Structure 1
Amino acid sequence: MDASFVKTAPIQQLLDRASGVNESGGDPRLKAIMRDVIESTMEVIVRHDVSESEFWLAMKYLADSSGEIGLIVPGIGLEHFLDLYLDAKDAEAGLTGGTPRTIEGPLYVEGAPLVEGNVNLSTDPDEGTQVLHMTGTVTGPDGEPVENAILHVWHANSKGWYSHFDPTSEQTPFNNRRRIKLGSDGRYAFHSKMPSGYSVPPQGATDQLMQALGRHGNRPAHVHFFIEAPGYRTLTTQINFGDDPFAADDFAFGTREGLLPVPSRQGDSAYIAFDFQLQRAGAAGGEEFSSRHRASAEPAAENA
């Protein structure tokens, strides 16, 4: 059957009623969005002749996969699409330059210790891995050092597990997680146990979907960042290690040009020098974080 079936009067009337567009109450914006979402779903059903059984199997998959939605969204490219969409909106508004944004991912935890100086992120031993040393400067669009910036940094351990989300429960709270308060020169420095890449949970919802699509669920080794500072747009980004075999084939589409430094590996240590450039906040703001739900934990005492 042709997808034009969805445009027939009975279906259009159903869409109007289902989305409440003719009702006086409710949120008009939500009504318009819901109508489009439902109509697009109907068109997919007709275009691909989705059977009743296939439809309800898909609903069961969605119900069963709620615990991995933070992996599925980047895995199907939607989180990267949001970055591309925001880039296009910035370009349309004449906002260019600065360090590229890229996906946040689902593994940030609020409440990491706020520290200064050359910071050790790793509170847990992680034997047999190198120590990563990372340094650089946070500047504004004219090259000026950004004062009073706070750099949030988090990454996995050498087994690919993040503290707070580690199923082995072996990591202490906020291992490999800190908020670093920068000085007037905008410089930062930290060291930590070298992270490794990881794969999505085997046989989990994301893995099932990736296998059904003929794709893998691997991420390269990487380090996440938020950078916030008064008068500047908050930056959400990450670096992927350019020498990782999955750097050019990240299942989550987090790899972007300009965010692929190659660590200089020397014996038991590896070094990355990476500078960040922020855009100034405009009249419409931009200093705030998105309202995404994030995990939280009680702030930990800094002893590293």
Structure 2
Amino acid sequence: MADQRVVELFDEFMEMVKDFIVRHRLQYEDYAAVTRYLVRVSEAGEWPLWMDNFLEATVDTTSYGEGPWTPSAIEGPYYKPGAPLLSRQPYTLPMRPDEAGDKMLFKASVRNPAGEPLPAAVIDVWHATDKGLYSFIDAGMPDDFILRARVPVDEDGTTAFRSIRPAPYEIPKNGPTGDLLNSVLGRHTWRPAHLHFRITAEGYKPLVTQLYFEGDPYLDSDCAEGVKQGLIIPLSKTDVDGDSWTHGEFTFVLQPQ
């Protein structure tokens, strides 16, 4: 039995495409060029990357909704479920013994729109290395939960974890997605440095979001168009065990179900 919503969406989408073809009087050579490009994206295995780069930010605007809670943001293609739940404080994201980068302490608070703490929340966090690489994804990175973990919060709804400061990075630029951005559209392939979060608590919608850092050179030109003003935070320095660490903090407000 056909899903009527799928039927209606597909028919409307196809009518939009057909109208586009007619209005711009596309020729067979245009059709062939588009077909070849779509095949290239498929053969390169870049459909998740392509969709996330060009469409996910728009889907995000219609998915989570606006209200007195933290704005959502794109999840991106690099999320990996099953990250370890940290149990020993101070909570520290899994790292390689020689993990390079500025040491970072991040403090978080999870609350509801009334400002009440959510002590049962869990913060699933993942981010890139100081070279902009992700475990499980980039060549040379282990297939292990490096810089990925789930962090519990305390009874007062707060928590903190230690990690390193991630760097801005380029999405793959040698494939058809990067070629479209660079060679055809004249845009760069850089994303500003960010932390990914997926925060869950019983009775609340899961919040998928990102936090960006003030002063990043790519905040205004993120190739994935994922930056939102309310998700840009300042970073400072703090003393940890006698060393100077990068410090960030944020209060996450979840949307009730």
Common topology (TM > 0.5): yes
Structural RMSD (CA) = 1.8
Q: CA–CA distance in 2 between the matches of 1:39 and 1:126?
A: 55
3-state SS in 1 of match to 2:233? coil
| Compared CA separation, residues 126 and 159, structure 1 to 2 (3 A) | farther
Query: Larger % of strand: which?
Result: 2
Partner of 1:36: 12
Q: Which structure is larger by alpha-carbon Rg, 1 or 2?
A: 1
Deviation at 1:71, TM superposition (A): 2.4
Question: How many residues of Structure 1 are paired with residues of Structure 2 in the alignment?
Answer: 249
3-state SS in 2 of match to 1:174? coil
Deviation at 1:128, TM superposition (A): 4.8
Q: Does 1:80 align with 2:57?
A: yes
The answer for unaligned runs of 5 or more in structure 1 is: 1-24, 282-304
Per-residue displacement from partner, 1:267-299 (whole Å, max 9, x unpaired)? Answer: 752100111111211xxxxxxxxxxxxxxxxxx
Paired residue for 1:105, among 70, 76, 89?
Answer: 76
Q: CA–CA distance in 1 between the matches of 2:237 and 2:51?
A: 33
Deviation at 1:183, TM superposition (A): 2.5
Indicate conservation of the 8 Å contact 1:122/1:193, yes or no.
no
Partner of 1:64: 40
Partner of 2:249: 273
Partner of 2:171: 200
Indicate conservation of the 8 Å contact 2:107/2:161, yes or no.
yes
| Compared CA separation, residues 171 and 263, structure 1 to 2 (3 A) | farther
Partner of 1:144: 116
Indicate conservation of the 8 Å contact 2:101/2:129, yes or no.
no
Per-residue displacement from partner, 1:163-186 (whole Å, max 9, x unpaired)? Answer: 000212x33500000011223211
Paired residue for 2:147, among 165, 176, 182?
Answer: 176
Deviation at 1:83, TM superposition (A): 2.1
TM-score scaled by length of structure 1: 0.77
Deviation at 1:118, TM superposition (A): 3.0
Deviation at 1:257, TM superposition (A): 1.5
**Percent identity of paired positions between Structure 1 and Structure 2:** 36
Per-residue displacement from partner, 1:207-265 (whole Å, max 9, x unpaired)? Answer: 11102111111001100000000111210101011221112221111110211112114
Within 5 Å, give how 1:1-304 maps onto structure 2.
26-66=2-42, 67-76=45-54, 78-86=55-63, 90=65, 96-116=67-87, 117-126=89-98, 128-168=100-140, 170-171=141-142, 173-211=144-182, 212-265=184-237, 269-281=245-257
